Amino acid sequence: MVAIRVLFSYFAARSPAVAGTIYRSFYSWYEAALQLCSLALSGLSVYFRIRSRLYRSLDPRKHEFRILTILPREDHIPAVNSNTDAADIHCILQTASLDDEPSYTALSYTWGTDNPSTAVLINGKLVFVRKNLAAALRHLRQTDRPLNIWIDAICINQDDNGEKLHQVQMMANIYESSVEVLVWLGPADDESDTAMEKFDNVGNKAITAGIQDFRAADMANWFEPGGDERVCRIKALLNELAIQEGLGLFHQSMVPFSKRDYWTRVWVVQEISLARTVIIVCGSKRLPFATFAAAANFCAFARWTLRTRVTIADWLDPVTGPLLRSVSGSGHAPSAAPNVLIGARRRYHLETGEKESLRSLLQRTCILRSAGIPLKATDARDKIYGLLGLASDSKKLGIIPDYSKSATEVYADVARAMIADGYTTILAWCQQPTGVEQFPSWVPDFSSHIREPCGEDNLAGALFCASGSTALSQVLVSQGEDRYLLRLLGTKIDTIAELGTAWEPLVDSPFNREAAQQLLNEAETFCHRSQLLSTPEQVSDAKMRIPCADQAGSGASRSRASSSIREEYELLRLPETYTADKVPVHQYRTAMGFQHNRKPFLSAEGYVGLVPAVAEIGDIIIIIFGATVPFVVRKLDGGNVQLIGEAFVHGIMDGEFLKVGRASENFCFC
């Protein structure tokens, strides 16, 4: 306002006519701005009055919730005022009780980030919803009959935190009790209709071939000669599709489809897993989830085949050759996110019929093997709360939704509860740096990309037992200086004296032979300099096992390495003309890939192994009693320690270090 006055005075002294024009223009704009602000405030007032009239209180004791009825176009109800005629979606919102077993459909979708801007009429009142939900309502609306459906954004009063809390706790039952769950992927695009038709075709062929009976364990023997009839049938299917329909084209259809936002939402794991029947809807096309799952699994097998068997013999093989050549030219890989959801539903309905532990669910939704994107949540706390409806042990762990807590507090509660329950490997999920200020080093940041630990396989479980027969001591968590402190009993192994170069591959990236040779060379150098490896045989064994952390990887899972990996190690050490793509070293190479962001070390007393890339000379390697792997910690002022990450220490991964008496120490993690 001061600037306007100065400007007006300047022109008033020199040109009264110009000054008058400026004056009238400014105050016309000023009055218009005031009117807009008044209208906006009035609109907000109307919005909150409408929402307060739309929702009456629910009784949690009666398991009450709301059902939305989408009316056919010809059954539109009259609007409360003529200004809402533009709303072409008319609905009725009613209260129901799960105890009465009402018949309804549930919607699984993603909210989106846009502001609610599309008008719909609910009980004759104007309500604004986001663009994606409005599109879903239009596409799902029946032409001849009403549709009873549960939609969280509408059926829960989002302005009532108390209601949101108890409705979130009911969501698992709401989805499980629905007649079917409709998965809304969004409106059609230029390729989606063709993709849906191709999924229908390929998925049904895959089902006929028996792909639904395929287990993850079968992947380990995928390339073995012979095999049972089921595996041979699936191999034949791969060959047929590659030749007759062009697997590359199918692979390209899956890429954009699998990268739609829906697949990355953590809440959909529960929504899809618990449903009796799931139907995928994309635009006007519909597809049974089982058919899509079969097609997606087929595509995943093809991708895995390409990445784990790339020798000359494979390219010439009459069965796998066409598949590899077809998929290799198909561009970027599909997202793995749909397969996380497919696997969760499969385990619940086909394999166990029971809920999984929270640990298992977190492993599948937060712990990743490669550069894929972890499942997301708009609210970081929902990375935990979105899984509780599927977790069999949420009550035992004492984890219940509480949105008054910060994400850090929620994650710390989960870590404390799991450690107290005996799962110390969760400490290996803490991968520095977290990027969050004041985040405890012993608490995993579930909102970030957590890679699969070196010492644990998602399928095989723990690969080591570094603490031997020792048991976890009492877990004590306190709060000091606004940070949680965790106290655990363990023993010191040694101090890091030398470090090599960080090895930073990704499982699904091309093999970097030059970087691999550097890791092999540095590990070999440290082994020769170790005073603990006194014989040539010990050095030879250690330099072979350290780069792969004493593991062999099949692509589907990892296991402890056997003497057979020596041949692969020696082949990998051949001159550069024999590249990794031309020799059968996929098990050793895959195991090396899992050592991402680690580097070789030599300790003061001669221990050799792998530690996190952020480890520093002077850091301490310890064993926590009851843990499966050693850990690297950093001493801080005041005596506390900062957790740096897990370690692989050759020669002590099966409890050898604790077979003789060792002094115990109380470690206070902050």
Question: Between these two residues, 324 and 12, which has the higher pLDDT value?
Answer: 324
From 393-397, 454-458, 556-560, the region with the lowest mean pLDDT: 556-560
Q: Is 376 strand, coil or helix?
A: strand
The answer to whether the beta carbons of residues 453 and 629 sit under 8 Å apart is yes
The per-residue pLDDT for range 540-559, each reduced to its tens digit, is: 999 999 999 999 876 556 77
Question: Between these two residues, 627 and 82, which has the higher pLDDT value?
Answer: 627
Tell me what the mean pLDDT of segment 251-270 comes to: 85
Name every residue whose Cβ is closer than 8 Å to that of residue 15 and which is 6 or more positions away in sequence: none
Segment holding 285, helix H or strand E: strand 285-288
Residue 71 pLDDT: 96
Tell me what the mean pLDDT of segment 245-263 comes to: 75
Tokens 């040539």 correspond to what residue?
536
Burial 634-646 (b: 16+ CB within 10 A, else e): beeeeebbbbbbb
The per-residue pLDDT for range 8-51, each reduced to its tens digit, is: 344 444 554 544 554 445 444 444 444 434 434 344 343 444 45
CA dist 539 → 77, 510, 535, 544, 661 (Å)? 82, 29, 6, 9, 26
- Three-state DSSP string of 448-464: CCEECCCCEECCCEECC
Q: How many helices (H) and strands (E) does the chain have?
A: 21, 24
The per-residue pLDDT for range 49-94, each reduced to its tens digit, is: 445 578 999 999 999 999 999 999 765 555 444 344 447 899 999 9
From 98-102, 437-441, 582-586, 635-639, the region with the lowest mean pLDDT: 582-586
Residue 207 pLDDT: 87
Tokens 């949105």 correspond to what residue?
403
Question: Between these two residues, 27 and 218, which has the higher pLDDT value?
Answer: 218
* Count of C-beta atoms within a 10 Å radius of residue 575: 6
Residue 216 pLDDT: 60
Nearest 5°: phi and psi at 100? Answer: -90, 0
The answer to whether the beta carbons of residues 321 and 522 sit under 8 Å apart is no
pLDDT over 90 (residue 122)? yes
Can you tell me the distance from the alpha carbon of 457 to that of 556, in angstroms, rounded to the nearest whole number? 10
pLDDT band at 454 (very low <50, low <70, confident <90, very high): confident
Residue 192 is encoded by which pair of tokens? Answer: 């989606």
Question: Between these two residues, 146 and 561, which has the higher pLDDT value?
Answer: 146
DSSP string, 82-99: GGGTT---EEEEEEEEGG
Burial 47-85 (b: 16+ CB within 10 A, else e): eeebeeebbeebeeeebbbbbbbbbeeeeeeebeeeebe
Can you tell me the distance from the alpha carbon of 195 to that of 338, in angstroms, rounded to the nearest whole number? 15
- The mean pLDDT of the chain is 81
**Pairing outcome for strands 367-368 and 450-451:** parallel
Provide the whole-model pTM: 0.79
CA atoms within 13 A on the CB side of 53: 12
Nearest 5°: phi and psi at 468? Answer: 60, -130
The answer to whether the beta carbons of residues 391 and 169 sit under 8 Å apart is no
Residue 314 pLDDT: 57
Burial class (CB in 10 A: 0-12, 13-18, 19+), 474: exposed
DSSP string, 180-194: EEEEEEES--TTHHH
Segment holding 65, helix H or strand E: strand 64-70
The per-residue pLDDT for range 595-619, each reduced to its tens digit, is: 888 999 999 999 999 999 999 999 9
pLDDT-above-70 percentage for the chain: 73
The answer to whether the beta carbons of residues 251 and 155 sit under 8 Å apart is no
pLDDT-above-90 percentage for the chain: 46
Question: Between these two residues, 591 and 52, which has the higher pLDDT value?
Answer: 591
